[in-house]
Structure 1
Amino acid sequence: MMLVEETQVPLAALPVADFKSHLRLGSGFAEDSVQDAMLESFLRAAMAAVEARTGKVLIEREFSWTLNDWRDASGQALPVAPVSAIAQVVLTDRAGDETVVDAAAYVLRPDPQRSRICPVSGLLPTVPMGGSVRVRFLAGYGPDWSDLPHDLAQAVMMLGAHYYEYRHETALSGRCMPFGVTSLLERYRTVRVFAGGAGQ
């Protein structure tokens, strides 16, 4: 199973100016933009950490997900949320030949926690023996920062500020996340009930 981010968050979607205000950095100086690249990197790192902790994609972008087989051919849960569209489903056989599945054969069942791809009737198409299936989809709360739920946006700002404040502390664990941030994220974390089953 492999999830690939096909497009990245554009710089225009990042709230660098708001992040500066959150950090209470000075403004109105000729050197205002000197730290922009560093602030962008902290925002991207904070977003990546929040997405990893919650399984939620913040800013809208395209993904491809490759599986050796469906976990549940009656309806497969997708690895991240929220998903707004499925662009393509492709079956690949052992020899590497690809077949695009007719879009009329499946439907997206949106869900804020675990969206699913489901067959219109019967089961999802059979994955060739020794082959794989690749699902291309669009996920995220929206293309702009303003599309995010306020608590997730605040969590990113707080975590980005934490990275900024401790940017010279090499002894900190890479998994270090302030309690205030984890509290904001708790309700977005997906509860996995059936290990390895359809609920995944």
Structure 2
Amino acid sequence: MMLIEETTVPTGALPVAFFKEHLRLGSGFSDAGLQDDLLESFLRSALAAIEGRTGKALIERTFSWSVTRWRDSGAQALPIAPVSAIVDVVLLDRLDNEAVVDANSYQLRPDMQRPILAAIGASLPPIGQSDTVRVRMLAGFGPEWSDLPADLRQAVLLLAAHYYEYRHEVQYDGGCMPFGVSALIERYRTMRLLGGGAA
């Protein structure tokens, strides 16, 4: 099983100017634009870290997910949330020949924790012994920074500010997030029960 980010967060969706204000860099710097690339990198790092902890895509983009078998032939939980659309489902044989699955044979069941790719009818398309299925999906709260819930926006800014303030630190801290960030993202974390089953 492999999840690939096919499109990246566009620079225009990142709140660099707002982050400057958060860091109190909004005025008094004639060369303030010189730090934009640095601030953008901290925002991207904070987004990635929070997405990793929560299993959520924050800014909307396209992902592809490849599997060699369904956990349940009638419905398959997707590895990321929230998912707003299934772009396509493609079967690939061992020679990478592609067969697009009829979109009328499946549907998306949206869910904030575990969106589901569900069969319309008896089952999802069968996957041959040496075949793979690739599901491409549009995931994220929306294409703009303002589409994120307020607590996730605050968590990203706090974590990016933490990275900025401690950018010269080289000592390993165990990868722990600041308490305020952890508290803000806790309700978005996906609970994994029974070995991460189909639902």
TM-score by length of 1: 0.96
Q: Deviation per CA, 1:46-65, whole angstroms, max 9, x where unpaired?
A: 00000000011110000000
The worse-fitting range, judged by mean Cα deviation, of 183-192 and 23-32 is 23-32
Q: Which residue number in structure 2 is paired with residue 65 of structure 1?
A: 65
Gaps of 5+ in 1: none
Shift of 1:194: 2.0
Q: Which residue number in structure 1 is paired with residue 147 of structure 2?
A: 147
TM-score by length of 2: 0.97
CA distance in 2, matches of 1:101, 1:6: 20
The size of the alignment, in residue pairs, is: 199
CA distance in 2, matches of 1:145, 1:26: 19
Closer, same or farther in 2 for the Cα pair 1:78/1:19, shift >3 Å? same
Q: Deviation per CA, 1:1-27, whole angstroms, max 9, x where unpaired?
A: 110000000010000011011111152
Shift of 1:128: 1.3
> For residues 1-200 of structure 1, what are the structure 2 equivalents within 5 Å?
1-173=1-173, 175-199=175-199
Q: Deviation per CA, 1:153-190, whole angstroms, max 9, x where unpaired?
A: 00000000000000000113362310110011110001
The question of whether the paired residues in 2 share the 8 Å contact of 1:94 and 1:129 is answered with no
CA distance in 2, matches of 1:78, 1:26: 41
Q: Helix, strand or coil: the match of 2:193?
A: coil
Q: Which amino acid aligns with 1:68?
A: T
Q: Report percent identity of matched pairs.
A: 62
The question of whether the paired residues in 2 share the 8 Å contact of 1:9 and 1:59 is answered with yes
Shift of 1:28: 4.8
The worse-fitting range, judged by mean Cα deviation, of 165-174 and 67-76 is 165-174
Q: Deviation per CA, 1:50-83, whole angstroms, max 9, x where unpaired?
A: 0000011110000000001111111101100000
Gaps of 5+ in 2: none
* Structure 1 residue runs of 4 or more that deviate by more than 6 Å after TM superposition: none
